[in-house]
Amino acid sequence: MQTKLDGSASAATIETSAEQAKRRKYENLDSSFIFVPFGVETSGPWGPEARALFKELSKRVIESTGDPRAGSYLGQRISLAIQRGNAASILGTVPRCGDFEDVLDFI
């Protein structure tokens, strides 16, 4: 996951930059693979290639299932996975406490 904290770029630029960095990182990937960088800013905005891929996948899952809501469900699952990753990242910086008695000492 890439982050940009200096405030010099807008949110839209962050995910576009992430997509470009991923494209450079995987530029030597065997041509038998289809690679699409999926850049997402942690607060929600998706990069242009991520949006295009999602649109295509949504169309295909709707055609496959016959359910017009299937694309929306896919978007919700991706968004939830991103938020879970955000939570795991934040919780990874918090020291573990022994038990609830440690918390009660602060009240």
Give the residue extent of every domain in the chain. 11-94
pLDDT tens for the 107 residues of the chain, in order: 444 445 555 555 888 888 999 999 999 999 999 999 988 888 778 889 999 999 999 999 999 999 999 999 999 999 999 999 989 988 888 877 666 666 566 66
Residue 14: what residue type? Answer: I
* Phi then psi dihedrals of residue 40, to 5 deg: -135, 130
- In the chain, the largest separation of any two C-alpha atoms, in whole Å, equals 59
